[in-house]
Amino acid sequence: MYISTPSNVISRRQMLRGIGVAMGLPLLNAMTPVFGRSTTLSAARQTPRRLFGICNNLGLLPEHFFPSGSGSSYQLSPYLEYLAAHRDQFSVFSGVSHPGVDGSHSSDVSFLTAAPHPASGGFRNSISLDQFIAEQIGNQTRFPSLTLGVNPKRGQRSLSWTRSGVLIPCEENASQVYRQLFLQGTDAEVDQQIRKLRLGESIMDTVADQSKAFQRRLGGQDRDRMDQYQTAVRELEQRLNKAREWELTPKPTTTAAMPIDPDSPSAYMEKTRLMYQMAHLAFESDSTRCVTLLLDSTNSPTITVKGSAISDGYHNLSHHGKNEKKLQQLRAIDEAHMSLLNELLTNLKSTAEDGTALLENTLVMYGSNFGDANKHTTTNMPVILAGGRLRHGQHLAFDHQQNYPLPNLFVSMLQSMGLETDKFASSTGTMTGLDIV
């Protein structure tokens, strides 16, 4: 790269050093969920508002998921019958999708970002909904967010992405999530972690000093970019400082036993159940306000479903080609998913918090990047939204040919959480027909 005058030429060695720093920063941002942060640990408690985003990347059989009729008088579909007890606490959507999001199996990475064309060569993801929320309120809890997965393809699949488009890896062991939430390290372990955090602050100080010297040799446009970079460094320094405060703060306690992680990926449903339990415990203890869970069905083998004989891999079954035997097995899998979702909503609804139910303060979004996995279509996405400060009990049906932008739902969700924004990704406004209460 060359600047206008010879005295401002930046050497290749300097440039490589600068690139190394720039590459390191997003990785440090991606570690934020591990460290946690807080504006003030003694802040007065307010009733929290939360998000739990769940994506099954092989979807659901649409003919059994989508209901008939619309509005509050719609007829529950066979799958939604499993959630009948919560009818007034959820809304179901049809005819929705993310504009421009295609790419077949690659589309799951855009489920919470709505970044278009995820399979394209120059694709760069954008910030996910949970991380957008974590930027605003993540300073109020030990963990700004938790990123979970069931059989995730490590390092390649996640629902959570930083503002700079960096993947946040999934934690796939429920026992490790439990340890992070509730088990306090020994004094020596805490001291070691604090030393690491102080080392991180020292590195950030060095980076900031070097970048200031570097900045003097840049032109006006590049100087603006470096200002943004230095702001990010300062923010990360603050996060590391707050992380040290959390290391010195005792973790909450729970009466729930530590989960036992299944040995085999075929125990997909049990893994899902345990991750739902961990999300519930994380919210109940107010350890975080944002959780995502990628159900990586594409990366799952022949799975075990109680009471059903599943004879083929999940991915192969999704390409059923109208084969009746495959369709029967897929329906058994889908119904197991609905049963687990019902269990999650029941547990959240039965947990009291500040005179209300935990579900009333928690948005639970369940859906898929695929409208029809058999055809690899990313339109007409199946989506359920339960809980939170929204008026539910309805089917919002939109045009199945000219889909309604799903990012509008994200804007409504953000506003229902008290976050002042009127735009997310490719949204055009708030979700039509969905009111905040």
pLDDT in tens, 266-283: 999 999 999 999 999 999
pLDDT at 232 over 80: no
pLDDT digits (tens, 9 = 90+) for 165-222: 999 999 999 999 999 999 876 667 556 655 655 555 555 556 556 566 556 666 666 6
Mean pLDDT of 52-60: 98
Asked if residues 57 and 297 have their Cβ atoms less than 8 Å apart, the reply is yes
Residue type, 215: Q
CA-wise closest residue to 294 among 57, 13, 23: 57
CB atoms within 10 A of CB 160: 30
How sure is the predictor about 384, in pLDDT bands with cuts at 50, 70 and 90?
Answer: very high
pLDDT at 362: 98
Q: Give the separation between CA 80 and CA 151, rounded to whole angstroms.
A: 25
- 234-293 pLDDT tens trace: 555 555 555 556 566 788 999 999 999 999 999 999 999 999 999 999 999 999 999 999
Query: Which of 67-76, 120-129, 189-198 is least confident?
Result: 189-198
Nearest-angstrom CA–CA distance, 133 and 349: 23
pLDDT range class, residue 46, cuts 50, 70, 90: confident
Q: Say what the pLDDT of residue 249 is.
A: 74
Taking alpha carbons only, the member of 418, 416, 412 closest to residue 429 is: 412
In tens, the pLDDT along 299-341 reads 999 999 999 999 999 999 999 999 999 999 999 999 999 999 9
How high is the mean pLDDT of the chain? 85
Confidence at residue 182, expressed as pLDDT on a 0 to 100 scale = 92
The DSSP line for 296-361 is -GGG--SPPBTTB---S-HHHHHS-TT-HHHHHHHHHHHHHHHHHHHHHHHHHHTSEETTEEGGGG
CA neighbor of 112 nearest in space, from 158, 172, 151: 158
The predicted pLDDT at position 245 comes to 60
Residue 3: pLDDT over 90: no
Residue 341 corresponds to which amino acid?
L
Q: What is the pLDDT of residue 183?
A: 86
pLDDT top residue among 145 and 22: 145
44 has a pLDDT exceeding 50: no
Whether 69 shows a pLDDT value over 80: the answer reads yes
Q: What is the mean pLDDT of residues 148-156?
A: 95
- DSSP assignment letter at 77: P
pLDDT for residue 32 is more than 50? no
Cβ atoms of 362 and 387 closer than 8 Å:
yes
pLDDT score recorded for residue 24: 38
Q: Flag the least confident range among 147-151, 229-233, 289-293, 384-388.
A: 229-233
Q: What are phi and psi of 261, to 5 degrees?
A: -70, 130
- Checking if the pLDDT of 45 tops 70, the result is no
The DSSP secondary-structure symbol of 283 reads H
> What gap in Å lies between CA 36 and CA 171, rounded to an integer?
15
**3-state secondary structure at position 79:** coil
Q: What is the mean pLDDT of residues 223-233?
A: 58
Q: What is the pLDDT of residues 175-190, one digit of tens each?
A: 999 999 998 766 675 5
Q: Against a cut of 0.85, is the pTM above it?
A: no
Type and span of the H or E element at 50: strand 50-56
More confident residue, 230 or 325: 325
| Strand ranges (E), 57-196 | 90-94, 96-97, 146-150
Q: How many CA atoms, within 13 angstroms, populate the side-chain half-sphere of residue 18?
A: 19
Task: Tell me how far apart the alpha carbons of residues 49 and 398 are, in angstroms, rounded to a whole number.
Answer: 28
pLDDT at 12 over 90: no
229 has a pLDDT exceeding 80: no
pLDDT at 237: 56
Mean pLDDT, range 291-298, rounded to an integer? 97
| pLDDT the model gives residue 205 | 58
- Per DSSP, the three-state class of 268 is helix
Q: Taking each helix axis as running N to C, give the angle between helix 268-284 and helix 174-182, from 0 to 180 degrees, rounded to the nearest 10.
A: 10
Considering only residues 16 and 85, tell me which one the structure prediction assigns the higher pLDDT: 85
